[in-house]
Structure 1
Amino acid sequence: MTNHDEMNEQHKENQNEDLSKNQSDVLPKGNIALNILIFIGWMILGQLPIIIILTITNLSVKMDTLKATMSTVLYLIVVSVVVWLIRRYYRRHTYEHTGKFTTKDIGINIGWAVLLRIIVYAFLFLLYKVTGSAQTSNDKLLFGDMNQQATNASQLAQVFPFIIFVITISFIAPYLEELIYRGIFKETLFKKTSFWLPFIIFSIVFGSQHGINNIISFIMYTSMGMVFYLAYSRRGNIKDSMMVHMIHNSIIGIAILVGYLSIMFK
């Protein structure tokens, strides 16, 4: 090997080392203090869709059809703007590259979703044994008290806002929560190689954001946050945690839809 070849080989090795270092030590864009404030803002904004559609759905019982329909259409416009704003911000600040799903990735995500349901059922069973209720305060807020459910069609929400409510909790809310709590939180506040600190902080923040009124509920939602974060961090792809979250919430959405239809066609 000539001196020229040796120099070229050394240059390539140095380039590879620099590239590896740059990829493993990527820092978030912008000022961290400002990013924290922006994250809090997105966190608050991300709560609006579920609050608005829940309010419309509950009020639709006493609304006429036109008002309920127009209110729901207005909600869809608002939620479209919210999704666009948060997604745009994330895409401008992410340092991850979301790859395509393989059959293996889908299988792993389904496995995470199954694990998540097992964790939830275990904690709800424990909650029932301790408090006498298998519902968290967050579930009661979203779906009503199981002991005070509608018994006839006249007590049900109107169909259009109810369907949009189910779509919101099954797909829109998980999409926004993953963008905010996994994507924006990790990728604007921590460097790429960070794991344990964002894992712990995020899980606690996620747990505390779900209407916690007892330690069992807090641990359950914190554990859920851990599963979502692990799904995301496996390959740094926000789509993975979105899929897990949507599968989990869709199971709940299907259950309440079946309950709604069973009362409607009783």
Structure 2
Amino acid sequence: MFFVKEKEPIRWRTYLKRIGLLALLLFLYQLAEVPMSLLALPHLSLPWIIFILICSLVAVALIIWYAWYCYQKVYQQVSHKITKSNIYLIIGGYLATVVMAQVFTFLNSKIYGQEDTANDIVLQTLMSHNSIILVAACIFGIFVAPIVEELLFRGFLMRGILVNLKPIYAIIISGLLFSSIHLSSNPISFALYATIGMILAYIYAKTDKIEASITVHMINNAVAMILMALGY
């Protein structure tokens, strides 16, 4: 069953505050990625590498905590337990992301001659610098990104801002905004990330458990990151 609307409509002032908070969270999330990018600088000494890794760890820990705190402020999730039916939906959701990724990758190749999205190319380039960045990028992509992005684009957005819309509209908007933070060089690659975002939003709306969409997101990213890592 999809989540139901709030009994009382959210006031415009509250909407504006929550939209501003979402923008702030996204900005902080982008800042949390900066320390990892610094590892690509040439001739870094070991003390500097350790210092940057510590800064990166602290930054992502803080953003995860703050994103969870904001989600809890707008919505108290009834249950956090993953049930058997949730597992079936998680598996089905992941398979759906795989199928849609193959479809859009094929279209991207045929129409624009691109085998990878701009987002993946940037990530592959970053990972190719050295093994430290490769490991850090894998950790960030598999664990940090799914947790933060699901808390923001599914939990906080759908429960704190889009809660009075019909679920289908909330799912579509969630997917579109999710795609907007991923680099896209053409409409096909944008549609790819938007579709994946909508699948994740559907899973969250259907289960009412942020852990379910986080799990699908983690599996999807883990497979992609492992394939990229094996390439290097």
TM-score w.r.t. the length of structure 1 is 0.77
1:44 to 3, 18, 27: 27
Q: 2:39 touches 2:52 (CA, 8 Å); kept in 1?
A: no
* In the alignment, structure 1 residue 121 sits paired with structure 2 residue 102: yes
In structure 1, the partner of 2:62 is 81
Count of paired positions:
227
1:77 counterpart SS class: helix
* In the alignment, structure 1 residue 223 sits paired with structure 2 residue 195: yes
1:144, 1:107 → 2: CA distance?
35
1:68 counterpart SS class: helix
Structure 1 residues 57 and 124: CA distance shift in structure 2, 3 A: farther
1:33, 1:110 → 2: CA distance?
36
In structure 1, the partner of 2:130 is 157
2:75, 2:105 → 1: CA distance?
35
1:100 to 73, 81, 84: 81
For residues 110-164 of structure 1, the C-alpha deviation after alignment (integer angstroms, 9 at most, x for no partner) is 221111011112211211122222111111111129xxx95xxxxx4143x4322
In structure 1, the partner of 2:40 is 58
Instruction: Give the counterpart letter for 2:100 in structure 1.
Output: I
Structure having the higher Rg: 1
CA RMSD of superposed structures (Å): 2.3
Q: Where does the alignment leave 5 or more consecutive residues of structure 2 unmatched?
A: none
Instruction: Give the counterpart letter for 1:124 in structure 2.
Output: T
TM-score w.r.t. the length of structure 2 is 0.88
Structure 1 residues 88 and 124: CA distance shift in structure 2, 3 A: same
Q: Where does the alignment leave 5 or more consecutive residues of structure 1 unmatched?
A: 1-22, 151-155, 261-266
Instruction: Give the counterpart letter for 1:233 in structure 2.
Output: A
1:258, 1:166 → 2: CA distance?
11
Percent of aligned positions with the same letter in both sequences? 24
